[in-house]
Amino acid sequence: MRYFAYGSNMDPERMRKRSISFSQRIRAVLEGYRLEFNKVASRNPQEGYANVVKFEKGIVEGVLYEIPDSDLSKLDRFEGYPDHYDRLMIKVQLDDGQKLEAIIYIAQPDRIAEGLKPSRDYLDHLLAARDILSESYRRELEAWQPLDQ
């Protein structure tokens, strides 16, 4: 099963620590969306976790993982499905132009707020995918002002 991560699960070490196995980890893009940190964090109502929002000309880069079906329940638990995030099937595009369906988690509307910022630690999880992200997208992530600054 394919899973598209655009938030903290882009960090392969985080996936390992959560005991979610993966046999593939490659760059993919989600077109027609933009990245926002507007999902209210459980631990701090001023902190924002990653979410994607429809935006016609937007592109969100992320990591496409191939995970065993048996690990879906673990992902659901860590993503707070269905209370915090909804789980959907969506098409993502690979660098060769191929489009594939993958699972994605999108924040529930009642868990979203404006004016939130990610923590430095949270942003570092996203930047752990710098080995497969484009340089321009990596710079965009680095430009986010973290909550603790």
Around 107, how many Cα atoms within 13 Å sit in the side-chain half-sphere? 22
The SS3 of residue 147 is coil
| Contacts of residue 143, Cβ cutoff 8 Å, sequence gap at least 6 | none
Is 146 a member of any domain? no
Is 94 a member of any domain? yes
Q: Which two tokens stand for residue 146?
A: 């973290």
| Residue 149 CB coordination number (10 Å) | 7
Q: Would you state the pLDDT for residue 148?
A: 73
Q: Would you state the pLDDT for residue 101?
A: 98
Is 148 a member of any domain? no
CATH for 125: 3.10.490.10
| 3-state DSSP helix/strand/coil % of the chain, to nearest 5 | 25, 40, 30
Number of domains in the chain: 1
For residue range 18-74, what is the model confidence (pLDDT) as tens digits? 999 999 999 999 999 999 999 999 889 999 999 999 999 999 999 999 999 999 999
Is 19 a member of any domain? yes
Q: Which domain holds residue 29?
A: 2-141
Distance CA 6, CA 8 (A): 7
Q: Would you state the pLDDT for residue 149?
A: 55
Is 90 a member of any domain? yes
For residue range 59-117, what is the model confidence (pLDDT) as tens digits? 999 999 999 999 999 999 999 999 999 999 999 999 999 999 999 999 999 999 999 99
Is 99 a member of any domain? yes
